[in-house]
Structure 1
Amino acid sequence: MAAAGRLELVVVRHGVTQWNRERRYQGQRDIPLLLPEALPGLDRLREALEEQTFDAVHCSDLTRCRQTLAHVVEGRERAWPTHFDARLRELDFGDYEGRTYDELKSQPFYRAWIDSEGQQPPPGGESTAELRQRLDDWFADLVNGCSPHDHHRVLVVCHGGVIRELRRRFEGIGFWEGGVVQAEGRRFTFTHDGGRWQCSSSSAVPAPASAAS
C-alpha cells in the first residue's frame, strides 16, 4: 500500500505598513511596507523559516507581499517555483479602504457590515463569500498539483483577511477570531485521507518563545 501524502502550508502575513500603523483598511490598495520599521518582524520571520525548504511559493501579487517574500527568502529566491496570484489578495473593502474604524463607526451601513461578519459586502467591495470562493479555487488548484503519496511543503505570503478565512475553514473558528499580526502566520498540516486532503493540525509561525525553547 502506498504511503499517505502530507502537505504543509506555511501561510504568513506581510510585514507592517503605514496604513497598518494608522489602522486603516488596506484591502486591495497597493500599499508598500513601512521601512525600516517593518524589518524586525521580517527578520524574525526569516529566522524562523531559514532552515526550511519549500516545493513551491505562492504569493499575493500586491507590493507589500512581494516585499515580504523577497526579504524572507533573500538569497534563496531561485530555489523554488514562485507563483504570484491575485486570488490571494486581501478582501476588497470597497469604499472603506483608506478609512479607519473611528471614521466609520457611526455609519449604519458599516455597523451592518460588522454585524454580518462580512457576509454583507461593504459598499463597492467584496463579501466574505466572494473571498471564500476565490480562496477555494486557489486551494483546489494547489492540491491538484500535489501527489497524494508524497510530502509537500508550500510557503504562502498573503494578508490578514486571507489567513482569517483559512483559519475559519481549517480550524473551525469564527471569521473575526482568526487574526494574526504582521509578519506572522500559521502552519497548516494536511494528510491525504479518503480521497481528499484534510487538515490535521495548525500552529503559530513563528512558534511562540515558550514552544520554541
Structure 2
Amino acid sequence: MATDLTVELVAVRHGITAWNLERRYQGQRDIPLLFPDAEAGLLALREALANEHFDAIYSSDLDRCQQTLKWAEAAREGVPLALEPRLRELNFGEYEGKVYDELKDLPHYRAWIDSVGELQIPGGESAAQLRERLDAWLYDLAGNARANDHKKILAVTHGGVIRELRRRFETIHFWDSTVLQAQGRRWQLIYQKDEQGKGGWQCSSSSAVPALVNATP
C-alpha cells in the first residue's frame, strides 16, 4: 500500500435547534438554530477552534450548519469554503417532523429501527445511500487536498453524517457513534492506494472536539 496523502479532518455537528429539543427527526428540513439555547455550545466550539487554521472548509448547505460555522468563527480570509449538499443529514422522508411516539407503532418504522438504520425510509434514504454520497465527497476531498496541498480540513455537518464517518474511521457500533450538537470528532487520515491503484482513507487516530477535559494526551 502506497501512502498518497495525509490529512487532519475535523467534523462538527451543528448547534441545537428547536426540533432537537423536541426530539423530532429533522433530516433535510432547513431548521434554524434555536437561541439562546444553542449559544453555550456554539461558544464552546468557537473556543475549541480559536487557534486552529484550516486549509479548506466544507459545510452542509442547510442553514443550521451555515449558522454554526458563522458562530464558530473558523473561516478565515483566503480559506476556500464549499457549501456541500452531500454533507446533508440523512433524508428521513416520511419521518421528518415526527417524534418517536408518532412513529413507534408503524411497521415500516419498527423494521427500520430493527435494521439499525439500514433499510430505506419511506420517501427518504437508506444508510447505504448516505454512505454512497459520503464516499463521493471523500473521494473529491482527496483530490482537492492533493491538488491544493490541504493538510487540515473542517466539515460542518449533521449527527447522522458524523455517525457514519465514525463507523467508517473508528469501526464502532451504530448506537455508540452519536455526537452532541456543536461537538464533533478529529481524525488523522491517510489516503492509500492498493496495487490496482484504488484509493481509500484509513484512520490513524481519533479524538473528541472540543477535547475532553480528562483526555489522555
Indicate whether the TM-score tops 0.5: yes
CA shift at 1:82, angstroms? 0.2
Distance of 1:8 and 1:156 partners within structure 2: 11
Distance of 2:135 and 2:39 partners within structure 1: 32
Secondary structure at 2:121 match in 1 = coil
Aligned counterparts, 1:155-194, within 5 A: 155-194=154-193
Aligned match of 2:214? 210
Consecutive unaligned residues of structure 1, counting only runs of 5 or more, are none
CA shift at 1:107, angstroms? 1.4
Scaled by the length of structure 1, the TM-score of the pair is: 0.92
Residue deviations 1:182-207 (CA, integer Å, cap 9, x gap): 00000010134456442111110001
Residue deviations 1:123-153 (CA, integer Å, cap 9, x gap): 11100000000000000000112239x6600
Aligned counterparts, 1:23-172, within 5 A: 23-73=23-73, 76-147=75-146, 152-172=151-171
Give the letter aligned to residue 180 of structure 1. V
8 Å Cα contact 1:89-1:162 kept in structure 2: yes
8 Å Cα contact 1:94-1:126 kept in structure 2: yes
RMSD: 2.1
CA shift at 1:80, angstroms? 1.0
Scaled by the length of structure 2, the TM-score of the pair is: 0.90
Aligned length in residues: 210
CA shift at 1:105, angstroms? 1.0
8 Å Cα contact 2:56-2:150 kept in structure 1: no
Secondary structure at 1:30 match in 2 = coil
Distance of 1:91 and 1:194 partners within structure 2: 29
